[in-house]
Amino acid sequence: MGKIKIEKKDIWIDMTPMSDVMTLLLCFFMLTSTFLQPEPVKVNTPNSVSEVKVPEKDVLNILIGSDGKVFIGTDNKNDVVAMLQTVTDKFGVKINKEQLKNFKDNSSIGVPLNMFSAYLSLEPEKMAEEIQKYGVPTDSIDGGMSEFQEWVAAAKEANSDMKIAIKCDATTKYEVVKTVMSELQDMNENRYQLITNLKKEGE
């Protein structure tokens, strides 16, 4: 008995629609995603049950490391440059164009004003290392406002809609956080948010 030959057919699937969908999804995520600003120090925030979301823009982020050092930053580079100009003009700190460029590229504030010019003259990699050693001083200047308060005041002057968010490490001493809060209260800045991790059920 002769064998029955089955005609083989090539199966061809048009992948064009899938490629179109993938391209659209990629464009969507690229346009809608927000990039996190690099932080001077790594902070592991404590857990809480609060589900209130921190706004994504016009936020002055106050970062407190586990060692108690305080850093300041914001997502809007125009605001942070305006802050820099206000504070440096007030205290007579001279900043050239190259230093201003370095500041824009790494716009975290975390060194005393008397070291600011020298700090901004460093290479970007060195700046990232040096900023971790200092932090913004919270001691008052000649009985007046502290450098921390000067930066906060400059931020509110640059953007009146600026909101304040405090992010501290779970191991940061309470006295340090209290000092920052007291500094804000002395400026009548009584509305701010504490950034935490959402506590999961069962923890």
Residue 196 DSSP class: -
Identity of the residue numbered 19: S
Which ranges of the chain does DSSP label H, i.e. alpha helix? 16-32, 77-91, 97-105, 116-120, 124-130, 147-158, 174-186
Task: Give the number of other CB atoms < 10 A from CB of residue 164.
Answer: 18
- Least confident span in 17-21, 174-178, 189-193, 195-199: 195-199
The pLDDT of residue 168: 87
The pair phi, psi for residue 121, each rounded to 5°, is -90, -5
Strand partners, 74: 60
Q: Which among 59, 79, 60 has a CA at the least distance from the CA of 71?
A: 60
pLDDT per position as a tens digit, 106-164: 778 889 988 888 898 888 888 888 888 898 998 877 778 899 999 999 999 998 888 99
pLDDT per position as a tens digit, 44-95: 776 766 666 766 788 898 999 888 899 998 888 888 889 989 999 998 888 8
Delimit the domains of the chain by residue range. 47-198
